[in-house]
Structure formats: structure tokens, C-alpha cells
Structure 1
Amino acid sequence: MTLAQRLRIAMAEVGITQSSLAEKIGVSQATIQKIVTGRTLRTAFLLPIAKALNIRPEWLAEGVGEMRETSIKQRDGVPMSELVEIPIITWDSSDPLENDEVEIPFYKSIELAAGNGRCVNEDYNGFKLRFSKATLRRYGAEAKYAAAFPVSGDSMAPVIPNGSTVTIDRNHTKIVDGGIYVIEQDELFRVKLLYRQPGGKLIIRSYNSSEFPDETADIDTVKIIGRVINWSVMAW
């Protein structure tokens, strides 16, 4: 089955409409319609769609395994029988790339403002992060357009807290309502949720909305650097 067929089956089982699913995950109905009709063959919204429908993302993406977890896996924890020890191999920048690896630039001195953060717009450190090609393919991103940045501030907490690292696709600059983007505004690089509004306006939203209320800006005053496709969070 195709992605479109699997999504139609899952939606039919729970009796959800395209508009209701779109509202649940914060995208437009047109986005869901394109997936359902097969006009979009891959999407960055697989995880939120799977969560909203209570199905396994592996099944939705590739048809792997069962559509839903078995009853034992729905409990809080992992069965001991499924734990497999995998050796951890350390590496450094001198190690050659594996066949399924690419390096992307990590602009460590450029901080994305998630609150009252600051920004330095030049970076000469040459830091790199390693990504699997499969991970980038999952988001429909090409390595040459991927880049990573540290986040400064708590406006996107608790989803993207201070000190997180976000990875963006610089080739994805078209705004999809509810998507997370790195933007350039008022001489700052910022990471925010974006929503288009009539009249050429843009709502700039933070996850921490209680401390950082919505902002409205003219869309032509905001430069889209790229869409966030991945983020990593340290425990402390």
C-alpha cells in the first residue's frame, strides 16, 4: 500500500475527517488532502499524524509491522525480552564517514533567539554534525541544504528548551501554518512557530505562550532561513 492508502485506512478506523486531523496537528486541510490523495509522497508531519491517529509511525511511513502497538506495548515501559544490547562506538572528526552518513555545518557561535537571545551572524569554527542520510530522506531534505544551530532562551520551552540544537532545511522556506522555522527578524535569528494571516500578516508564536505572547508582523519583514526538521535536547 501507498502512504495515501495507509492514511485513509487509519482515518477511516477512527472516523476522523481531513479537517479534524489537520486541526489536531496544526496544519491546513490542504496539507492533509495532498497526502490522502497521493499528491504528496512524503511529509514532515508523519510523527504528529501517527500520534493523532494512535498508530505506529513505522507502519504509516513504510507499512512496517502492525498499524497499532500490541496491548503489552501500550503499557508504560518496554518488555525486558525486547531489550537488545548494542555496542556504542566512539568517533571523532578524523573518523571517515560511513556509507549512510553525511556531515552538516553546526554554527555554534550563531545563537537562535528563543526569547531574549542574541545572535552573531558569522561563524568561522567549522564545526560539523553527523547525520544519517536516511534521517534526512525521511524529512525530504538534502544534505547540502541542512544546517544546525544552538538555541538560546526559553520561549520555545518545554518542546525546544534553552541549549537545544535544531537542524533546519534551508531549501524549505515556504510557510506551512504551524511549522517551526528559523527566521531573521530585527537583526536576530529566531526559532518560532509561524501562521499566515490575511493581508500579508504573519503570526509569530512561541510554545511558552504564557510568558511570550503571540507577535504579529508584516510577512515581508521576516526572512525565512529554513524549516526546523529535527531538534535534540540535553537532559541537563
Structure 2
Amino acid sequence: MKTFSDRLNAALNAENMSQAQLAEAAGLSQPAIQKLTSGKAKSSRKVVEIARALNVRPEWLSGGIGEMREDFATKPRDGVPVSEAQGRPIKAWDSSDPLEDDEVEIPFYKSIELAAGNGRCVNEDYNGFKLRFSKATLKRYGAEPKYAAAFPVSGDSMAPVIPNGSTVTIDRNHTKIVDGGIYVIEQDELFRVKLLYRQPGGKLIIRSYNSSEFPDETAGIDTVKIIGRVINWSVMAW
């Protein structure tokens, strides 16, 4: 455990997490994680994010100081004290209600289901459905409201992260591929939602979270149209 890579690999094994999963959780590319695990890179400016994703102490991961994890008995438990919990009224609204100052409406293409399994493609949606979205949330992702759009997801290839029935929001202005990013793509006359990784020779790896049932695919970059990068998704409990 003398080097950063030793500690990082030990934490990955302890958490039973893949390099791709860590990259996604920490906001890094998979090649960046690979450099760290192999020792080619000695540390990272995102050591706190990496430590949080791996449920280890940043001091330990960065410099080997102290224990890998805090003692559960002394570790603060998350939650809100019951005495401080306060309910807030929920305001119902419909299409006739004016937008709040921090709200915008984005198109919701309900008839265009994104393939997360045995997908389908309906190229047109005339329903005119809208979703209300926070301007602050879009700004956080650097997305302009005019480029935001939402779609329903059909299938289980992206489960458990994005299960069947989820709604994803994309930035249509973000079409440059960042390895490990989640994108809505058009391929073979299907709309799909997948993780993308660039490969030498103009190739792409198209990956699903549910990789045990949906193994990686390889395709030419010129055969895949990037519709936009997924910036947000909502998931129903059941």
C-alpha cells in the first residue's frame, strides 16, 4: 500500500467496482482511471471525488494516512433529525400555469422511445408534450434551454442505473464524445441510450450498464449519429 495505485486498486477490489463505474461516479474518463491504477499517473486532482465514490478516506487514498475507512461506530450517520424535519406544500400545476422565474419548458418526445434493450424508433412526435425544468439545473450542466429535450427509455440494458420507464434529459448541443459519457444515439434506424468509448481507427465501443445481458458492441463512428449527451435522468421506484 505504498503507492497511490496500490491503494486505489485495493479500494476498487474492496468496493467490487469496475474502472468504468469509478470513472462515471468520479467524473473522469476511463483512460484517466486506467493510468491511475497502472501507476502511470501518481495522483489526481479529483482524489476527493474518487475517495467518495469508493467509500474510503481521501487522506488514506492520497497519502496512506490512517485507516482506509472510518470506523462505522464513530462515523456520522446521514439523515435529517426528526425534530428539524419540516414539510413543504406541493404546488400542483398544469399547462395553463405561468412559468416560475427559474423554470423553462423543454420538449418531451413521449412517442420516441429510446432503446435500452430491444429498441424501437418512431421518428416523429406531434404530441407537443412539455416538461418543466429548472434553469439552475441546466446551467449546472452548461446546457442552454433551447438545446434540452427529454425522452422515455424502453428496455433494461441500462439497468439498474437507468431502468425501463425512466425519463432522460439530453443536451443536443453536446455531441462531442467524452469516454464513459451517456449519449442518445441514432444507429441502424433506432434511437438508443448508451455509454460510449472512442477506439483507435475510428471505432466506438457501445456499452450498456447491464453488460451481463447486453455485451459491448463495436461500431464505426461514422455509422452512429450523436443526438446529444444525457445530463439528467429520473427513475420511478416501481
Q: Which amino acid aligns with 2:141?
A: Y
Question: Paired residue for 2:189, among 187, 190, 196?
Answer: 187
Q: Aligned partners of 1:102, 1:169: CA distance in 2, in Å? A: 14
Do 1:25 and 1:48's aligned partners in 2 also have CA atoms closer than 8 Å?
A: no
Residue 143 to residue 49, structure 1, CA distance change in 2 (3 Å): farther
1:137-161 C-alpha deviation (Å, 9 max, x unpaired): 1111110000000000110011101
Do 1:173 and 1:227's aligned partners in 2 also have CA atoms closer than 8 Å?
A: yes
Q: Aligned partners of 2:90, 2:75: CA distance in 1, in Å? A: 26
Q: Which residue of 2 aligns with 1:167?
A: 169
Do 1:25 and 1:52's aligned partners in 2 also have CA atoms closer than 8 Å?
A: no
Q: Which amino acid aligns with 1:25?
A: A
Do 1:107 and 1:123's aligned partners in 2 also have CA atoms closer than 8 Å?
A: yes
Q: Aligned partners of 1:73, 1:162: CA distance in 2, in Å? A: 35
Q: Which residue of 1 aligns with 2:96?
A: 94
What's the Cα RMSD here?
A: 3.0
Do 1:118 and 1:188's aligned partners in 2 also have CA atoms closer than 8 Å?
A: yes
Residue 79 of structure 1 and its aligned partner are, at CA, apart by 2.3
1:26-49 C-alpha deviation (Å, 9 max, x unpaired): 41439xx9x95xxxxxxxx9x965
Q: Aligned partners of 1:73, 1:111: CA distance in 2, in Å? A: 43
Q: Aligned partners of 2:122, 2:49: CA distance in 1, in Å? A: 33
Residue 72 to residue 184, structure 1, CA distance change in 2 (3 Å): farther
Q: Which amino acid aligns with 2:124?
A: E
Q: Which residue of 2 aligns with 1:67?
A: none
In our comparison, the structure showing a higher alpha carbon Rg is 2
Q: Which residue of 1 aligns with 2:200?
A: 198
Residue 218 of structure 1 and its aligned partner are, at CA, apart by 0.6
Residue 99 of structure 1 and its aligned partner are, at CA, apart by 0.5
Within-5 A mapping of 1:1-236: 24-26=22-24, 27=29, 28-29=31-32, 36=45, 51-52=52-53, 74-75=76-77, 77-236=79-238
SS at match of 1:217: strand
TM-score by length of 1: 0.73
The count of aligned residue pairs is 193
SS at match of 1:231: strand
Residue 188 of structure 1 and its aligned partner are, at CA, apart by 0.3
Do 1:168 and 1:226's aligned partners in 2 also have CA atoms closer than 8 Å?
A: yes
1:163-207 C-alpha deviation (Å, 9 max, x unpaired): 100000001111111100000000000000001111111000000
Residue 25 of structure 1 and its aligned partner are, at CA, apart by 1.8
Residue 126 to residue 51, structure 1, CA distance change in 2 (3 Å): farther
Residue 79 to residue 114, structure 1, CA distance change in 2 (3 Å): same
Query: What is the aligned-residue identity percentage?
Result: 82
SS at match of 2:83: helix
SS at match of 1:220: helix
Residue 52 of structure 1 and its aligned partner are, at CA, apart by 2.5
Q: Aligned partners of 2:96, 2:74: CA distance in 1, in Å? A: 44
